[in-house]
Amino acid sequence: MTSRVENRDEGGTDAGAAPPQEARPAPPPQRAKRFPWLVFGIVFALVLITRIVITPRPTAPKPVLDLPAYTLTDHHGKPFGAADLRGKPYIADFVFTSCPSVCPRLTKRMVEVQKRTADLGEKLHLVTFSVDPETDTPEVLAAYGRKYGADDTRWTFLTGPLGEVETVVLRGFKIAMGKKETPEGILEIFHGERLVLVDGEGKIRGFYDADDAGIEAIVRDARLVLDR
């Protein structure tokens, strides 16, 4: 008989047998992979909510000056003044129709305000005061308004006797106006170039430069005054 000799290693296993494979850990559940993203989302939401709660909402500017009562003449030739604007916030500017430089720019800014507040309708009024009332008659102002596309239902142009206009502009609005003589002996009209926001109680809420930032601010504040 032929004998068979089995080769075994010291551990008692067959030398030719394949070594046992090490056990591999089971893959983690799919939801475990989403856990960090869930935490991130919660933290982000909390930070966002905190910023919304902590960040104060913009508020309307406080009154800085009371306007005295006044009555002038509008571009239809009718009396018009503070009593007609009672309960209506308005934005005012100061120009004269024969001005070749600054005034057209100011009027175009008012046109921009008119467009950006069109949704407010007659809730917000626009008022332009002539600082050369001796030249700017109601008829002249009406033509000036038509030239720039002024909405007759919410934009009023005012003129009147020079003394009364000066009282309103200088003493009421605290806006400069007047005439000065040039070295050539020519009288030039000068005036302030800022826009003014007035609330429905006749109180001035702010003075604004007629630049991009100023227009943005006066439109925003006018809406805040209306929402109060």
Residue 14 lies in a domain: no
Q: What is the CATH number of the domain that holds 107?
A: 3.40.30.10
Three-state secondary structure call for residue 147: helix
As for how many domains the chain has, the answer is 1
How far is CA 50 from each of CA 41, 42, 45, 131, rounded to the nearest angstrom? 14, 12, 9, 51
> 25 lies in a domain?
no
Q: What is the pLDDT of residues 193-207, one digit of tens each?
A: 999 999 999 999 999
Residue 121 forms part of a structural domain: yes
Find, among 101, 103, 124, the residue nearest to 220 by Cα: 124
Q: Given this model, what pLDDT does residue 6 score?
A: 47
Residue 93, judged by CB atoms within 10 A of its CB (0-12, 13-18, 19+), counts as: buried
Cα 157 from Cα 80, distance rounded (Å): 10
- How many helices and strands, by DSSP H and E, does the chain display? 5, 10
Range of the domain at 174: 72-227
Calpha distance 183→185 (Å, rounded)? 5
pLDDT of residue 192: 94
Per 3-state DSSP, the chain is made up of helix, strand and coil in percentages (nearest 5) of: 40, 20, 40
Note if the pTM is more than 0.95: no
Q: 164 with 72: CB under 8 angstroms?
A: yes
125 annotated to bind ligand:
no
Spans of the chain below 50 pLDDT: 1-13, 15
Burial state string for 187-197 with b = 16 or more CB within 10 A and e = fewer than 16: eebebbbbbbb
Whether 105 is in a domain gets the answer yes
**Calpha distance 201→63 (Å, rounded):** 10
Compute the distance between CA of residue 203 and CA of residue 29 in angstroms, rounded to an integer.
67
What confidence tens digit (pLDDT) does each residue in 116-167 have?
999 999 999 999 999 999 999 999 999 999 999 999 999 999 999 999 999 9
Residue 177 lies in a domain: yes
**Is position 75 annotated in a ligand binding site?**
no
Q: Is 111 left (phi over 0), alpha (psi -120 to 50) or beta?
A: alpha
* Residue 217, in any domain of the structure: yes
